[in-house]
Amino acid sequence: MLLVDRVTEVVPGERLVARKAVTCNEPWYAELGPDHPESAFAYPQTLLVESWCQSAGVLATWDAPNPDVLTGQVMLFGGMSGVVFHAPVLPGDVVVHEVLLSRSLGDTLIFEGVSTVEGEPVLTVERVVMALRPAEALRPATTERPTEPATERTDAADSPPAATTSTATAPVAPALADPTSADSPPAAPNEPIAPPAAASAQTGSSA
């Protein structure tokens, strides 16, 4: 989200002047209409500060611009103090950001400045700290672990019981002894012996 329209003055390593025109076409005004009061159209203060900080970032990287944040030096926002809002900014206003590099401590830069509309201050910044760091140092450390081949583990406690097949054997009745057979055991005492069926039939026919 670029909130700087134009750089009008720059002294590398010292100061910079940039402009930002506020219009009703910006997305934060999309839900507003003619029925809203004028105070509802005040430019968000967080975006006003962001616009000023972007101007400071342009000054910080003027001699070595880096559009690729994945390599080279990456600019980080460290902190700010002494920020004062003096008046609201409305659509149609042109904000002029004046940025001064007050101190440079190696990769750490300290800025101060003011934003005005038609010469009247709307924002003053006492101190903003920014730092430049190598992109490689900002990437999370990754440790590659050796991959082990997947092995199937069969746990006896987790395995279903093996299916078993049981064959029920019906009891076999003992063969009945043939009373006419010579091998048949003798009848028990006092137990009548039934005549063979064939003999009974023959006797009946003779009578």
* In 14-171, alpha helices (H): 45-60, 135-138
User: What does the mean pLDDT of the chain come to?
Assistant: 78
Query: Confidence band (pLDDT; 50, 70, 90) for 147?
Result: low
C-alpha span between 49 and 113 (Å, rounded): 11
Residue 128 lies in a domain: yes
Residue 146 lies in a domain: no
Query: Confidence band (pLDDT; 50, 70, 90) for 47?
Result: very high
Residue 193 lies in a domain: no
Residue 34 lies in a domain: yes
Domain that holds residue 90: 6-138
C-alpha span between 197 and 49 (Å, rounded): 126
Which pLDDT score, from 0 to 100, does residue 134 have?
A: 85
Domains identified in the chain, total number: 1
Query: Confidence band (pLDDT; 50, 70, 90) for 203?
Result: very low
Which pLDDT score, from 0 to 100, does residue 38 have?
A: 84
pLDDT tens-digit map of 159-171: 555 555 444 455 5
pLDDT tens-digit map of 134-146: 888 777 766 555 5
pLDDT tens-digit map of 109-126: 999 999 999 999 999 999
Which pLDDT score, from 0 to 100, does residue 31 have?
A: 85
Q: Are 107 and 130 in contact (CB under 8 A)?
A: no
- The CATH number assigned to the domain holding 67 equals 3.10.129.10
Q: Is the pTM of this model over 0.75?
A: no
Residue 184 lies in a domain: no
Residue 69 lies in a domain: yes
Q: Is the pLDDT of residue 204 over 50?
A: no
Residue 178 lies in a domain: no
Q: For residue 116, give every residue at least 6 positions away whose Cβ sits within 8 Å of its Cβ, in sequence order, or none.
A: 95, 96, 98, 122
Residue 27 lies in a domain: yes
Q: Are 95 and 26 in contact (CB under 8 A)?
A: no
Query: Confidence band (pLDDT; 50, 70, 90) for 34?
Result: confident
